[in-house]
Amino acid sequence: MPLVMKPSSEDRTPAVSIVLATNRGGPYLRETLQSVSAQTFTDWELVVVDDGSNEPEAIVDAVDGMAASRVIRQANAGISIARNVGFANSSGEFIAYLDDDDVWDPERLAHQVEALRTDPTAGSCHCGYWFIDGAGVRFGTEVTVQPASPESYLSGEVDIPRINTLLLRRSVIQRLGGFLSSFSLFEDCEFVFRVVKEGPVISLSDRLVGWRRYPESVSFIHDARVMNAAAVRAVTIVRWGAETQGNSSEAKALAGNVLRTKRRLADHHASEFCHHVRTRHWSVARSELTEGLHYSPSTVLRTCVSIAMRKNTTQR
């Protein structure tokens, strides 16, 4: 059973419950929590689930002093179960899942709560975001989201919302049953696919979340093959669910998404193959080619031919 390390300072029902699952103290946790404390919308509670970290005192110390916050410590069970435990120990009308290294714009909760209260038919609201590195420096292209239909999300024509940019109604999560414990990677994508199937998603063009990307983050730690397989599996499982429920239109859209995902991965590996051939890294090139052919041989062929033609054109 989870152990509550620090009780909530108030016996109340907040508008927003912020659920942060972590298995580390990490160098960014205090900065993340500071961005929560800086929110202009103040009717929130924070539920931190320490999923078997090696430094529980550091997590408790980081949270200490924050209003309406508590830490729940449990044996390591994975991100899906940790988020579900956090949700079960929350009470807010709206839920935001916070990663332990991201940061929020001070207006994030204010804008998203207002959007959901203005449109009671919507089950969730997501927003734009920017990237920051390990030093907190912005890099890359900032992402602005646009309204899209559930069909566009399911088919892969439009990228699904990021879990770290979503504010969800509690009732939606209750109906969906939370995250699947069988997932350790891309559990958020599988969950979000079910979210977009559940009902309208409000898209705010405002960039309100800073998504930290750095060498120690999950997407960098895991081997590309593992990440790619998990991505395909997430879409495939949602497609199976639609087929089981007899929803042929959703199943068809998701089947198209599976193909689109495989082709995108094949294109990436084919490009890497061509690069490593040019640099004479033969073993790496062979590995990239094998991986690409696994997903879509025809895409690999088209990509390699296209790259070769472009190279010939530039050499003339």
Percent of the chain with pLDDT over 90: 63
Q: Are 247 and 134 part of one and the same domain?
A: no
Q: Are 68 and 174 part of one and the same domain?
A: yes
Q: Are 238 and 187 part of one and the same domain?
A: no
Query: In angstroms, rounded to a whole number, what is the distance separating the alpha carbons of residues 214 and 102?
Result: 11
Q: Are 111 and 28 part of one and the same domain?
A: yes
Q: What is the pLDDT of residue 220?
A: 47
Query: pLDDT tens, 115-163?
Result: 999 999 999 999 999 999 988 899 999 999 999 998 899 888 888 999 9
Q: Are 199 and 263 part of one and the same domain?
A: no
Nearest-10 Cα torsion for 288, 293, 297, 300 = -10
Q: Are 230 and 169 part of one and the same domain?
A: no
Q: Are 102 and 234 part of one and the same domain?
A: no
Q: What is the pLDDT of residue 217?
A: 57
Q: Are 21 and 129 part of one and the same domain?
A: yes
Residue 61 clears pLDDT 80, i.e. is over it: yes
Query: pLDDT tens, 95-124?
Result: 999 999 999 999 999 999 999 999 999 999
Q: What is the pLDDT of residue 8?
A: 45
What is the three-class DSSP state of 23?
coil
User: Of the candidates 251, 87, 48, which has an alpha carbon nearest to the alpha carbon of residue 179?
Assistant: 87
Q: What is the CATH number of the domain that holds 83?
A: 3.90.550.10
Q: What angle do CA 44, 64, 99 make, to 5 degrees?
A: 60
How many folded domains does the chain comprise?
A: 2
Q: What is the pLDDT of residue 224?
A: 56
Strands (E), the chain: 3-4, 16-22, 44-51, 69-74, 94-98, 103-104, 124-132, 138-143, 167-169, 201-212
Query: pLDDT tens, 180-212?
Result: 887 666 788 889 999 998 889 999 999 999 999
Q: Are 17 and 52 part of one and the same domain?
A: yes
DSSP state of 247: -
Range of the domain at 262: 224-315
Please say which residue of 163, 184, 216 terminates a domain: 216
Query: pLDDT tens, 282-307?
Result: 999 999 999 899 889 999 999 999 99
Please say which residue of 183, 216, 249 terminates a domain: 216
First to last CA, the chain: 69
Higher local confidence (pLDDT), 103 or 315: 103
What is the three-class DSSP state of 24?
coil
Please say which residue of 216, 250, 282 terminates a domain: 216
**Do 66 and 14 contact (CB within 8 A), yes or no?**
no
Q: Are 231 and 202 part of one and the same domain?
A: no
Element containing residue 244 per DSSP (H, E): helix 224-244
Least confident of 18-27, 168-177, 219-228, 240-249: 219-228
Provide the 10 A C-beta neighbour count for residue 244.
9
Q: Are 144 and 238 part of one and the same domain?
A: no
Q: What is the pLDDT of residue 3?
A: 42
Q: Are 260 and 192 part of one and the same domain?
A: no
